[in-house]
Structure 1
Amino acid sequence: MEPVRTCVGCRVRAERSSLVRVVARDSQLVVDTTASLPGRGAWLHPQIQCYQLAVKRRAFGRALREPRSLDTAALEISVRENRLNG
C-alpha cells in the first residue's frame, strides 16, 4: 500500500505518486522531484486548478510553516507548462 498525502490546493487525499512535493528554499517554492530535500514539504496535484486554490487559500505558507511571504512564480510556470513529474 502506497503512502497517502493531502493536496494543499483541493484538500483531496491521494497516493503520493500522483502528487508533487514542494519545499521552501530562500522564500521561493521549489519542486522536490526526488521527495528527499530536507525540511517540511507540501504536497500538490500537478494541475493549475490545485495550484490556484493553494495560492488563494495561502496554503503553502501554512503547510510549510513559513512566516515570510513565498515566491510562487517558478512553481506557477512549472505547473502551467506541465513540467512537473508526479
Structure 2
Amino acid sequence: MSGRTRVSACPERTCVGCRERAVKGDLLRIVMVEGDCVPDQRGTLPGRGAYVHPTLVCHDLAVRRRAFPRAFRAQGPLDTTALRSYVEQVTP
C-alpha cells in the first residue's frame, strides 16, 4: 500500500459565461445543431460541447462575449433562442 487514499475524481468543466470552473454535473452542456445552440440535458448528443451554468447571468455573459461561436469554432453569430428559453424555464 502506498498510504494514499483513493479519491474519486469528479470531472470539472469551465463555464463559457463566467469562466469559473465547476463540477460537470452543475453545468449545462450546450451543442451546436445546424447553427443553433441547443441544451443537451443528458449529455449524449454528438459533437463538440460547451458548458454554461444554467442561469440567465452566465447565458447573457456568454452571448455578450461571443463565447459560443468561439467554443464551437463557428463563423458568425449563433442562434441562442432555444437555449435562452430553456434556461428561463429551469431558473427558479
Identity %: 48
Residue 64, structure 1, aligned to residue 72, structure 2: yes
Separation in structure 2 between the aligned mates of residue 54 and residue 65 of structure 1, nearest angstrom: 14
Q: Calculate the TM-score normalised by the size of structure 1.
A: 0.91
- The corresponding residue for 1:3 is 11
Could you tell me which residue of structure 2 aligns to residue 34 of structure 1?
42
Give every structure 1 segment of 4 or more consecutive aligned residues whose post-TM-superposition deviation is greater than 6 Å: none
Deviations 1:21-77 (CA, angstroms, capped at 9, x unpaired): 000001111111121211110000000000000000000000011114211011111
Give the unaligned 5+ runs of structure 1.
none
Say what the alpha-carbon RMSD is for the aligned residues.
1.1
The answer as to whether partners of 1:20 and 1:33 remain within 8 angstroms in 2 is yes
* Structure 2 gap segments, 5+ residues each: 1-8
Aligned to 2:53: 45
Larger radius of gyration: 2
